[in-house]
């Protein structure tokens, strides 16, 4: 066919099978590259439209397009969606009976399938039909799973390296939303498609407002946030299964209907929650990161991170589930030192500990930034934003710098008086003159620093202490009960009159919500 004919055919298939009138940025170029039998590596944010980059070419190839996908749970949905659009597609995985599997192999042999979704661990069972006679194209979805540099490494992906040797003349298309440069080239290397043409889409999702708040009274903040966004769909991401359930319960007590979702639920329970969310019967899901992979729901209006994500890739992917329809959406992250500490503990002892901690540090820097957050986010993905975004909390409430020397002195002298043995919470309790049991038991109410900071709210103290840590005037002893410790620079503030600049804690005015948070 002539180029124009090929293009006409593409547009006609786009309309017939998917109902779209035009391509999104890059989609057409990617599809044309696949059709010209060249390998590609596609880096596109979640919701960017990766699927049709292999589904549309699949229609034009004679044989089957093999789609490697990590999540058996989602294959059925994807295949059902394709079938509903009139495309012959199926999946092959360990959940099927031998006779079902046999039928699928027959359909591949008789070229009665355009797309076949397979989990990497099921590839061995398909060995006999993975030849260039039957397979016209290989798509590797969530390709970052092959790289231990990515954020979701799956050992089963490693065996994909052999595919290219078996199918040297077959076009491969690897797709992921992970754009970190090192991971990108590692993916190409592991898949043995180093020469692949790379298509990197912009990661800027301007419609998502970014906001970070300190994590104290999270539940009450979340309740108010949800009430302000009444009637809208949203996801609250939590670190643990237990938190998802506790939070869903708490929300219910406050008159908000929410469901919990995590990998500990049965397959049926999970499908139910997922389905009722997709069809707007459930508006709010409190979930672990297991929720959302591959969920195609365009009207998620907000994503809240109850806990801090492990890294920026994860954070970005999760907030990307909001606002796929391009309309105004909101991503709210709660920043807590307790979470950072917990995540550090998770990472410790891992074979790639230093690497995980470096990623966590970037996440922490993002959370504590006093410059445009979108700039930081995009720079992580190798993009430069020329102007401040105007749609993040820092842009909306630029931090005001003030002379924080006295405040710094108060904090550091409390650290000193508490013998560098207490964590942030206790330091604040002492500064604020709290009469709680922990303080009284230890006799901290007798100290000179007790109550010298009553005029500042607890969460503001948190904010100020974090700034001191970030500036190196004190540090957290992660291996000693997270006690706050002095550093060599503390002396300069305590004894040598060094000045400290701090930014004023920003207060996001909460609109009045009548009911009390229970």
Residues at the contact surface with ligand ADP, assessed by CB under 6 A: 20, 23-24, 27, 44, 46-52, 296, 298, 324
What tokens does 390 get? 């105007």
Least distance (Å) between residue 171 CB and ligand ADP: 19
At closest approach, how far in Å is the CB of 372 from Zn ion? 3
- Measured from the CB atom, the residue of 50 and 463 that comes closer to ligand ADP is 50
Give me the least distance between CB of 81 and ligand ADP, in Å please.
9
Nearer to ligand ADP, 20 or 355 (CB): 20
In angstroms, the Cα distances linking 23 to 30, 53, 134, 420, 503 are: 11, 10, 29, 59, 45
Q: Give the nearest distance from C-beta 54 to ligand ADP in angstroms.
A: 10
Which among 343, 379, 334, 377 has a CA at the least distance from the CA of 482? Answer: 343
Which residue, 234 or 292, has its beta carbon nearer to ligand ADP? 292
* Start-to-end C-alpha separation, the chain: 67
Least distance to Zn ion, CB of residue 368, Å: 15
Could you tell me which of 95, 10, 25 has the C-alpha nearest to residue 55?
Answer: 10
**297 interacts with Zn ion by CB under 5 A:** no
Nearest to residue 140, comparing CAs of 103, 190, 96? 190
Q: Which does 139 bind (CB under 5 to 8 A by kind): ligand ADP, Zn ion, none?
A: none
Q: Which is nearer to ligand ADP, 27 or 367 (CB)?
A: 27
Shortest Cβ distance from residue 101 to Zn ion (Å)? 51
- Residue closer to ligand ADP by CB (options 278, 486) is 278
| Element of type H or E holding 117 | strand 115-118
Q: Which helix (H) or strand (E) holds 200?
A: strand 197-200
Query: Is residue 79 within 8 Å of residue 91, measured between CB atoms?
Result: yes
Among ligand ADP, Zn ion, none, what binds residue 395 when CB lies within 5 to 8 Å by partner kind? Zn ion
Q: What's 351-395 look like in SS3?
A: CCHHHHHHHHHHHHHHHCCCCCHHHHHHHHCCCCCCCCCCCEHHH
Which does residue 23 bind out of ligand ADP, Zn ion, none, counting CB within 5 to 8 angstroms by kind? ligand ADP
Which CB sits closer to Zn ion, 142 or 211?
Answer: 211
| Residue 389 interacting entry, from Zn ion, ligand ADP, none, C-beta within 5 to 8 Å by type | Zn ion
Minimum CB–partner distance for residue 27 and ligand ADP (Å): 6
Burial class (CB in 10 A: 0-12, 13-18, 19+), 207: middle
Neighbouring C-beta atoms of residue 152, cutoff 10 Å? 19
Residues numbered 350-409 forming contacts with Zn ion, rule: CB under 5 A = 372, 374, 388-389, 392, 395
Residues near Zn ion (CB under 5 A)? 372, 374, 388-389, 392, 395
């Amino acid at each position: 066919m002539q180029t124009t004919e090929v293009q006409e055919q593409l547009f006609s298939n786009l309309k017939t099978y998917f109902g779209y009138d035009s391509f999104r940025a890059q989609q057409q170029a990617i599809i044309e590259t696949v059709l010209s039998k060249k390998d590609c590596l596609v880096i596109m944010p979640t919701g960017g439209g990766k699927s049709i980059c292999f589904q549309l070419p699949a229609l034009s190839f004679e044989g089957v397009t093999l789609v490697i996908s990590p999540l058996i749970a989602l294959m059925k949905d994807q295949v059902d969606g394709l079938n509903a659009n009139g495309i012959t597609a199926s999946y092959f995985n360990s959940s099927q009976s031998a006779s079902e599997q046999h039928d699928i192999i027959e359909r591949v042999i008789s070229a009665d399938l355009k797309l076949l979704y397979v989990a990497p661990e099921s590839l061995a069972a398909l060995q006999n039909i993975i030849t260039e006679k039957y397979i016209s194209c290989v798509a590797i979805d969530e390709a970052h799973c092959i790289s231990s540099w990515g954020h979701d490494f799956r050992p089963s992906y490693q065996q994909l390296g052999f595919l290219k040797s078996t199918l040297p003349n077959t076009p491969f298309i690897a797709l992921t939303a992970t754009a970190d440069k090192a991971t990108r080239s590692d993916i190409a290397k592991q898949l043995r498609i180093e020469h692949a043409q790379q298509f990197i889409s912009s990661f800027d999702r301007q419609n998502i407002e970014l906001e970070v708040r300190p994590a104290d009274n999270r539940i009450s903040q979340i309740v108010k946030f949800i009430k302000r966004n009444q009637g809208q769909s949203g996801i609250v991401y939590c670190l643990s299964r237990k938190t998802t359930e506790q939070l869903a319960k708490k929300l219910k007590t406050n008159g908000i209907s929410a469901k919990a979702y995590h990998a500990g639920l049965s397959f049926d329970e999970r499908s139910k929650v997922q389905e009722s969310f997709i069809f707007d019967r459930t508006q709010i899901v409190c979930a672990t990161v297991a929720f959302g992979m591959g969920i195609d729901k365009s009207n998620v209006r907000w994503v809240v991170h109850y806990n801090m994500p492990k890294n920026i890739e994860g954070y970005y992917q999760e907030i990307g589930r909001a606002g796929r329809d391009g309309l105004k959406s909101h991503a709210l992250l709660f920043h807590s030192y307790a979470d950072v500490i917990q995540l550090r503990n998770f990472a410790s002892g891992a074979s790639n500990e230093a690497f995980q901690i470096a990623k966590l540090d970037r996440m922490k820097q993002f959370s504590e930034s006093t410059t445009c957050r979108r700039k930081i986010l995009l720079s992580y993905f190798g993009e430069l934003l020329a102007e401040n975004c105007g749609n993040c909390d820092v842009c909306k409430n630029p931090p005001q710098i003030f002379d924080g020397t006295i405040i710094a002195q108060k904090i550091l002298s409390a650290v000193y008086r508490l013998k560098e043995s207490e964590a942030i919470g206790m330091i604040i309790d002492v500064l604020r003159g709290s009469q709680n049991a922990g303080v009284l038991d230890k006799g901290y109410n007798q100290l000179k620093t007790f109550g010298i900071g009553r005029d500042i709210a607890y969460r503001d103290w948190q904010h100020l202490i974090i700034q001191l840590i970030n500036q190196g005037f004190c540090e957290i002893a992660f291996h000693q009960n997270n006690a706050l410790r002095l550093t060599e620079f503390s002396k300069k503030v305590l004894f040598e009159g060094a000045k400290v600049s701090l930014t004023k804690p920003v207060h996001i005015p909460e609109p009045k919500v009548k009911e009390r948070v229970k």
